[in-house]
Structure 1
């Protein structure tokens, strides 16, 4: 992939830009294998899964800068000035086509971009998500609710310009901090959920919910988890840090009890709705339940009788407490999906009764050194 922004020094976010894609994959594979070599010496690595090395991102998180009537959509440079990246080659075409429309709308409404240094202005970020069915979720991140009436009034014009819009919301982030969004979310459209079709499952994505940024590679990740689970034929599966239910719904099956645990209530609501839709298509599925809880802190004795556990934690990993509870449990199998191989290695070291048999790199993030790796564990 060639990038004018990178070549001109305007954006250096993509640390692997200019490196041949095969070399990028090899570098990540070597990095992950080296990190796990000490805790999983007999690990078999399956061939890395890669998708397109450009036009793969389904979500854009854009900093709004410049001035009212002449905004930039992109990032801030080292001096806090806006760098417009609306032609960035990482985004799916369905995202790229929205950027000029959104910029024109912001300019026409004279929405004032937030000035970080002066702590003045209203519009901080735009977060835009594109679905496999060419639908859109658009979120305006504002400092206060002052501009909501103007955005609400402009909705018909926005929907006319972008007919694929499913959800529009406003997030309020009043803090003068470098955080993307706040706790308050106001949905302005009748629909509040963006359907994300992945393989044969439709996941409901609400504004605050997490979803993998690379839909094609996420689909392969879920297929691999399903294959590993089916190989063990467990009667019960727990999906910890389940989000909107991607793993849980992919591994559900006749005669199998599936439980998903997630801290975010909106994500749990979405997972419950998706499970209901899936059961409508497959009435023979076993029980599928979702609960709002902190998997790291609260999952303990409840693991009694669970055959297989899937974990997909944040970068910090599952940590010593949960790793210890898995180690002490009767769980026979674990499928661990990780975006940080270093925390994965620490967690595997804390579970010596489990042997890591197979692993696979899933390249969610071409042009960067970020990685997603999934490991299959059996109790020895």
Structure 2
């Protein structure tokens, strides 16, 4: 993949872009195998490749420049805006909306936030595209002051980008490096973006998490569904369930499926998906995964975990190790934390594993592993 931004030294986010893609994929497979250690009983399936470009369904663009000439991209070392609208990672639908968003910034008089001076309003623009080409737009602001102007000019924005379904404002008042704040103001009648994956409708709300690479996410869910269906467990927990991707895909394999997620927005989305699909045996609850497990009166036969990069808590690893859970499907975005958690759960042994290249051109990837309990003498 060629990138003029990389060649010009403007952006080096794609650290592996100069390597042939086949070499990237082989290196990730080798890295995952090294992280799991010498485990001859693990069956490694063929890695799932991604399109090399135009795979990102989500753009997180820092806004710089001026009202008349805004930049959408990143900030350089001096906190000046670097425009990356032509980045090859984003889907065509996201690319097409960038010029219209720049025009809207000028029309609504949204002053880009100046990091050194700590002045201005518009910090980030977050855009997500569904598999059907519909869009969600989130404008991250320092304060609520520009909201009235955004509402006034919103009809013009919706006309210029007909694919827009959900538009919101996120408030991030502090001078901080994080991308978004806690408070969200929905500006459109629609509050969710439908993400249809493998024939299942999932719903994304502004503060919910969804995998960045839709084709690879679809393959990830299919693989988990295949492994779980082959075990036919009576009960399943999906911990860190997000908008319910794993639970919804595995709903037909068990009599009872429970999804646990800290984000109430994500839980509401997952519940909507289950209702629309008529999945009465699937329930979702807001809560902490570790606290839920420790407080439960009984354990399920199978647990699916999809934790953040830091992995599982020591307490949850300890509970899984001592519980009656027979199998764990572990989806990890960091092979190192997966290896650490496996060491803390020696009775749960990986039998199958597969690399899913969610992030081509970078060192990041996803690993899915099927763990089975071994009763040691």
Q: Per the shorter chain, which TM-score range?
A: over 0.9
Is 1:377 the counterpart of 2:376? The answer is no
Q: Secondary structure at the match of 2:194?
A: strand
Cα drift, residue 18 of structure 1 = 1.6
| Residues 193-246 of structure 1, C-alpha deviations (whole Å, 9 max, x = no match) | 000000021110000000000000000000000000001000111000000000
Question: What is the rounded CA distance, in whole Å, between the counterparts of 2:295 and 2:328 in structure 1?
Answer: 17
Map 1:98-177 to 2 at 5 A: 98-177=97-176
| Equivalent residues of 1:256, 1:286 under 8 A apart | no
Cα drift, residue 255 of structure 1 = 5.4
Q: Residue in 1 aligned with 2:30?
A: 30
Question: What is the rounded CA distance, in whole Å, between the counterparts of 1:297 and 1:80 in structure 2?
Answer: 41
Is 1:339 the counterpart of 2:333? The answer is yes
Q: Secondary structure at the match of 2:139?
A: strand
Q: Residue in 1 aligned with 2:188?
A: 189
Q: Residue in 2 aligned with 1:298?
A: 292
Question: What is the rounded CA distance, in whole Å, between the counterparts of 2:55 and 2:244 in structure 1?
Answer: 22
| Equivalent residues of 2:67, 2:106 under 8 A apart | yes
Cα drift, residue 260 of structure 1 = 0.1
Give 1:315's match in structure 2, choosing from 288, 293, 309. Answer: 309
Map 1:1-380 to 2 at 5 A: 1-38=1-38, 40-253=39-252, 256-279=255-278, 285=279, 287-302=281-296, 304-380=298-374
Cα drift, residue 172 of structure 1 = 0.2
| Residues 6-28 of structure 1, C-alpha deviations (whole Å, 9 max, x = no match) | 01111001000121000110111
Cα drift, residue 41 of structure 1 = 4.3
Cα drift, residue 286 of structure 1 = 5.4
Q: Secondary structure at the match of 1:97?
A: helix
Runs of 5+ consecutive residues of structure 1 not aligned to the other structure: 280-284
Question: What is the rounded CA distance, in whole Å, between the counterparts of 1:152 and 1:7 in structure 2?
Answer: 40
Root-mean-square deviation (Å): 1.1
| Residues 40-77 of structure 1, C-alpha deviations (whole Å, 9 max, x = no match) | 44222100001211000000000000112111000011
Q: Under a length normalisation based on structure 2, what TM-score does the superposition of the two structures give?
A: 0.97
Question: What is the rounded CA distance, in whole Å, between the counterparts of 1:299 and 1:363 in structure 2?
Answer: 30
| Residues 94-139 of structure 1, C-alpha deviations (whole Å, 9 max, x = no match) | 1000000000110222211001111100000000000011110000
Q: Secondary structure at the match of 1:125?
A: strand
| Residues 236-273 of structure 1, C-alpha deviations (whole Å, 9 max, x = no match) | 11000000000000000175210000001110011001
Change (3 A) 1:379 1:214: same
Question: What is the rounded CA distance, in whole Å, between the counterparts of 2:217 and 2:112 in structure 1?
Answer: 34
Change (3 A) 1:171 1:339: same
Q: Secondary structure at the match of 2:296?
A: helix
Q: Secondary structure at the match of 1:342?
A: helix
| Equivalent residues of 2:93, 2:133 under 8 A apart | yes
Change (3 A) 1:91 1:303: farther
Q: Under a length normalisation based on structure 1, what TM-score does the superposition of the two structures give?
A: 0.97
Question: What is the rounded CA distance, in whole Å, between the counterparts of 1:210 and 1:339 in structure 2?
Answer: 14
How many equivalent pairs are there?
374
Question: What is the rounded CA distance, in whole Å, between the counterparts of 1:351 and 1:300 in structure 2?
Answer: 16
Question: What is the rounded CA distance, in whole Å, between the counterparts of 1:92 and 1:297 in structure 2?
Answer: 38
Cα drift, residue 297 of structure 1 = 3.4
Change (3 A) 1:15 1:303: farther
- In the TM superposition, structure 1's runs of 4+ consecutive aligned residues that sit over 3 Å from their partners are none
